[in-house]
Each structure stands twice: as structure tokens, then as C-alpha cells.
Amino acid sequence: MKLRHKIIWFALTPLVLALSAIALTVYYRADLLEQQQRESIERAYRDSKDAELKNYSTLAEQSIAHLYGSGWTDTATLEEAKTILQSLSYGPDGYFFLFDLQGTFLMHPRQPELVGQNLWHLRDTNGDPSIQKLISRALEGGGLVDYMWQKPTNNSDVPVPKRAYVFVLKNWGWVLGTGVYLDDIDVALAELDKQASRNILDTMLWIIVISSLSVIAIISGLMWSIRGRSVVDAQLSALTQRIIKTQEDERSRIANALHDSIKPMLVATKMKIEVGIHRLNELSHQSMASPISFRQATEIVDDTLLEINHIIHDIRPYNLESLGLESALRLCAHHFDSDALPVEFNKFGETEGLTRAAEEALFRVAHEAIANAINHSSARQVSMRLEGDSCCVTLTIHDNGHGFEVNHVNADPNRGLGLRNMKERIEAEGGRFCLTSSPGGTTIIATFSLR
């Protein structure tokens, strides 16, 4: 994953998680509050209806109190009481009803066809015996009962929930009751639920909009910062390329100076010393041992020439333009190969198509890696593998030395300069550089894409 992607990922992930947690918390709390509000409203509505039913029942009882308190049970008195109760109403669906203790309807102002019918065994849509429940509750001292019953104003035979208050008139053997239909509260609560859902949805939409704007703003800021960093990286990359080119130019200049100027001067010096030794021998008319200082001088010149050759080889080992990358790497392996440290080179596939700068970078990495293995790793063997296909060319250098801790070397500014130079050289030409090291050895992989 690229650095810019890592920055965006690690910046946005905590933010998105936090915003998601806030959104879920808000949704959960809003839904919980809506449920609590619904339960509170429903409870308050039912309590108010229960109080109204008790008040209505007390009003009905008081309206016939003068008849019930007289103790008369004749037909005229009972009919008068029925007439009074039938005339009492409070709204289209607010009425009183009467039936005896055996379940026979005595009065129903909204459904007169039920009068005279015995509905003791009637069961509502829930399977509950409605009349038996009402009578049982009345005989227990009166109270509230929930059941299903047809609503007169609905003009439908489908029963709806109803809550009634019933009590018994023992002297007459009557059960007097009144009730309210609860479908209105269900409609009101459904509308409340709908409104609450809309409010929750609006809140979530606002959260999503604000979160999206925040994420967009952060991404824009990060992209702006990353773009600025990319410009700096591009400038640093260009500077690195210029430094590398300057280094190569300086290497070439020094190598040329050593090869074309210093080395010929040393060869000429050696030749003059040898000529001087020959003339001394001629003047003495006999063969005599050369002075020790002259012999030492020629030996020093020979050693100096050998050292200069090594320096020239290190600075500019081979001519890549004439040899090619494969041959140059093969000669490099042969140069370092010895009984103490065998260096093996293998080539697989097609490795043509690299730029001259990329070939130079691969060769420098190979040269530096083998030199490091010789000088620092105590390796017993080094292998180089150059392989390519239609997509890329890869150079792998592995030694079986004691290895090192990569993170410690990277963190130490006084160590790993050569490794950093290798990495910068490869990346400056658009390649990928990978370094791994362990007690079993060190592996360097440099890859250039051909596309």
C-alpha cells in the first residue's frame, strides 16, 4: 500500500468508526426514547379513559339512584330506569348497556337487535368469552375489562378493541356498563410512530450529510497535503537523480584521470627506473645487483599500478554500453569470485528493454551488495540471479552471512549509508527495492518494470 493510501486509510478509519458509533448511538437512543414516549402517551391515554369510564358509570348510577334506592322491582320502575340509561350518551360511540346475570341483553341503544338475546357463550375474535368476562368482573366488585366488540359508527361487522367499566346492580340482577373503543388510540399511536420514524430518519440523514461533508473536507485536506508532499518528493527524486548523475560523472572523470594520466605517468616512472638500472650495469662493465632502493622503487610502482587498477575497477568496473548488463554482471561475479567466497551468477528469461540508467543502477547495486557481503557479513557464498519476462526485470542478490537488524540500521543515521544509496538509486529510476535480512543471510531484490 502506498504512503498516501496509508495516510488516508489511517486518518479516515478512526473518523468513520467514530461517526458510525455516534450514528448508531443516536439511532438507538432516539428509538428507545420514541418507545418510551409511546408507552407514556398510551398509558396516559388509557388512564384518562379509565377515569372517564368510572366517572360516566358514577353518573349513570346516580341518574337512577332514586329508582334503585326505592327498593321497587316492578316492571314500570325497571322500564323507567332502562329509559333513563338509554338516553344517556357521550359521543357517537359513548353509551350504556345492560344485561342480566345470565348473559341476556336488556338494553343496548346502538344495537337494539341484541335486546332479548342470550350471549353467554359469545366469544370474540381472540376466543375470549366477552359476556362471561364482563359479568365475572362485575360480580367481583366492578372494574375494567378489555375485549373485542363491533363499533357502531364503523358500519362494519369487524370487531375492534374496547375497554369497558362494569358493575352489578344486585337488587335488580343487572350488570350495567359503558366503554370506549380503543381503535382511535391505535390510530393516534400509529401516527405518532410514523412521525417519530420520520424524525429519526431526518436526524440520521443530517448525521450522514454532516459526516460526509466532514469526510470530504478531511480527504480534500489530506489530498492537498499529499499533493504538496508529492511535489516535494518529486523535487527530492529529481535532486537524487542529479546527485547520482553527478556521482557517475565524477566517477568517470576520476577513472579517466587515473587511467589516462596517473597510470601512464607511473608506467613511465617505472620504465625510467628500469632504464637507469640498465645503464648503471653498462657503466660498470659487469653485471651487478641493482641497488636495493631501485628494486624497492619498481616494486612500489608495481603495487601502485595494481592498486590504481583496483580503484579504476571499483569506480568504473566495466563498460555497460559495450558489454551489456548480463555480461557486466557475469564479469563482476568473476572478479569477486574466490575460493574463500564463491560468487555464482545465473540468468533466466529475457532481460532486454531496460534503460541505460536502470542497467547502471542494477549493476551498482550488485557491486555494492557483493562488496558488503565480503566486508561485513562473513558470508561463505554469494549468488546473483538476473531474470526477466515481458513485464519486468529482477535482480536478486543473496548471501549466507550472519545478517543484521534492518530496522536498527535504518534508524541509525551513522549506519547503512550504502544500503540507502542502493535504495535511492533504484527508486530514482522508477524501480522497486526490497531488503530482507536474518541470521541466515541477506537478500536484496531490485525490480524494474518494462511497461
Bridging pattern class, strands 441-449 and 432-438: antiparallel
Give the span between the Cα atoms of 144 and 167, in whole angstroms: 9
What's the average model confidence in pLDDT over 283-297?
Answer: 60
> What local confidence, expressed as pLDDT, does residue 418 receive?
78
Phi, psi of 445 (to 5 degrees): -125, 120
Q: What angle do CA 310, 443, 244 make, to 5 degrees?
A: 50
Which residues 6+ apart lie within 8 Å of 220 measured at CB? none
Which of 179, 184, 182, 185 has the alpha carbon at shortest distance from 108?
179
Mean pLDDT of the chain: 82
Q: Decide if 430 contacts 333 (C-beta within 8 A).
A: no
Which of 145, 149, 182 has the alpha carbon at shortest distance from 165?
145
> What local confidence, expressed as pLDDT, does residue 293 receive?
63
Confidence of residue 164 (pLDDT cuts 50, 70, 90): very high
pLDDT digits 0-9 by tens, 43-71? 888 888 899 999 999 999 999 999 988 88
Residue 100 Rama label (left phi>0; alpha psi -120 to 50; beta): beta
Q: What pTM was estimated for this model as a whole?
A: 0.45
What's the average model confidence in pLDDT over 137-164?
Answer: 89
* Structural domain boundaries in the chain: 72-181, 322-449
What's the average model confidence in pLDDT over 414-421?
Answer: 78
Pick from 115-129, 210-224, 285-299, 401-415: least confident: 285-299
Q: Over the range 402-427, which residues count as b (16 or more CB within 10 Å of their CB) and which as e? A: ebbeeeebeeeeeebeebebbbbbbe
Confidence of residue 241 (pLDDT cuts 50, 70, 90): low
Cross-strand bridge partners of residue 90: none
Cα 25 to Cα 48, 235, 260, 358: the distances in Å are 34, 47, 80, 56
More confident residue, 176 or 93: 176
Pick from 154-163, 206-215, 249-258, 314-323: least confident: 314-323
Would you tell me how many other CB atoms lie within 10 Å of the CB of residue 320? 17
> What local confidence, expressed as pLDDT, does residue 204 receive?
84
pLDDT value at 109 more than 70: yes
What CATH number was assigned to the domain covering residues 72-181? 3.30.450.20
Most confident residue range from 143-152, 204-213, 239-248, 288-297:
143-152
More confident residue, 301 or 447: 447
In terms of Cβ atoms closer than 10 Å to its own Cβ (0-12, 13-18, 19+), residue 433 is middle
Bridging pattern class, strands 174-181 and 143-150: unpaired
Confidence of residue 412 (pLDDT cuts 50, 70, 90): confident
Which CATH architecture is the domain 322-449 placed in?
2-Layer Sandwich (3.30)
* Whether the domain at 72-181 and the domain at 322-449 fall into the same CATH topology: no
- In this structure, what C-alpha cell is assigned to residue 103? 348473559
Confidence of residue 120 (pLDDT cuts 50, 70, 90): very high
What's the average model confidence in pLDDT over 253-265?
Answer: 68
> What local confidence, expressed as pLDDT, does residue 85 receive?
92
Most confident residue range from 270-279, 299-308, 375-384, 405-414:
375-384
Give the span between the Cα atoms of 10 and 62, in whole angstroms: 78
Give the span between the Cα atoms of 166 and 159, in whole angstroms: 19
Pick from 314-318, 417-421, 433-437: least confident: 314-318
> What local confidence, expressed as pLDDT, does residue 237 receive?
67
Q: What is the CA radius of gyration of the chain?
A: 53
Which residues 6+ apart lie within 8 Å of 439 measured at CB? 402, 403
What's the average model confidence in pLDDT over 198-221?
Answer: 84
Percent of the chain with pLDDT over 70: 85
Instruction: Report the interhelical angle of 356-376 vs 417-428 (nearest 10°).
Output: 160
> What local confidence, expressed as pLDDT, does residue 312 receive?
61
Confidence of residue 444 (pLDDT cuts 50, 70, 90): very high
- In this structure, what C-alpha cell is assigned to residue 367? 557491486
Give the span between the Cα atoms of 155 and 380, in whole angstroms: 103
pLDDT digits 0-9 by tens, 311-324? 666 655 556 667 78
